[in-house]
Chains A and B, each alone.
Chain A
Amino acid sequence: QSVLTQPPSVSGAPGQRVTISCTGSNSNIGAGYGIQWYQQLPGTAPKLLIYGNTNRPSGVPDRFSGSKSGTSASLAITGLQAEDEADYYCQSYDSNLNGYVFGTGTQVTVL
């Protein structure tokens, strides 16, 4: 029972821009806890893509960007590439649960 809601799937043609939303509440995103995004390629472990709402770890292309507003956050992928086909998860901390929560996950398809 995830407390962070994402669309099940998004798709776009190569080169296009897609966005993935992550909707939470006042006990997680709205409380000021940072949002992280992870990319999970088929058959592999999740990989940190964005941390602290907007920061990219070393090696992550600047095609990936994060934003946050109120109780929601978004991940944008610009210049979509075939290698971006993967599942994407948002993650935060929830004060009611006193633990970490992940989003429901979004499958990105490159048409």
Chain B
Amino acid sequence: QVQLQESGPGLAKPSGTLSLTCAVSGDSISTNYWWSWVRQPPGKGLEWIAEIYHTGSTKYNPSLTSRVTISVDRPNNQFSLRLTSVTAADTAMYYCARVVHRGSYFHFDYWGQGTLVTVSA
């Protein structure tokens, strides 16, 4: 059974940097899947942030691309998110997820439980 677990500080300061890691178990991060970050502000909907393949190929949400970096750590079977210049609008539950690419179908089949990050001084 594939499991994903997010970790990182639950608090970030305005104008600072948010850094999160997603540990993957039950599957190698180097298989034929992509790995993504999705966030959800309190009481609001889901927003895709970025995804990465084990080769290092990346895709970013155009609305966040200038502030986001996603990276992969194959030896430790994990991937990470870095978001700079954070504001209160970045306060959200952050989820990591596995992404299946199948022709013109792309779906998130396994999700972490999420980690809440609050941006506050």
Please list the residues of chain A having a beta carbon within 8 angstroms of any beta carbon in chain B. Answer: 1-2, 32-34, 36, 38, 44-48, 51-53, 57, 89, 91-93, 97-105
Pairwise interchain contact A32-B59, C-beta atoms closer than 8 A: no
Binding site secondary structure of chain B? strand
Pairwise interchain contact A2-B105, C-beta atoms closer than 8 A: no
Which 4 pairs between the two chains have the least Cβ-Cβ distance? A34-B105, A100-B48, A45-B111, A51-B107
Pairwise interchain contact B112-A33, C-beta atoms closer than 8 A: no
A56 to B43, CA, bound (A): 27
Pairwise interchain contact B62-A98, C-beta atoms closer than 8 A: yes
A52 to B108, CA, bound (A): 11
Point out the residue from B45, B105, B108, B112 that lies within 8 Å of A104, measured CB to CB: B45
Interface residues on B, range: 20 to 34
Please list the residues of chain B having a beta carbon within 8 angstroms of any beta carbon in chain A. Answer: 36, 38, 45-48, 51, 59-63, 95, 99-100, 102-109, 111-114
Point out the residue from B36, B47, B108 that lies within 8 Å of A36, measured CB to CB: B108
Point out the residue from A34, A44, A48 that lies within 8 Å of B108, measured CB to CB: A48
Point out the residue from B36, B46, B59 that lies within 8 Å of A98, measured CB to CB: B59
User: Closest chain B residue to A104 by CB distance?
Assistant: B45
Residues of B within 8 A of A34 (CB): 102-107
Pairwise interchain contact A99-B59, C-beta atoms closer than 8 A: yes
Residues of B within 8 A of A97 (CB): 61-62
A89 to B95, CA, bound (A): 15
Central interface residue in A45, A47, A89, A98, by most chain B CB within 10 Å:
A45
What's the minimum C-beta distance from B115 to chain A, rounded to whole angstroms? 11
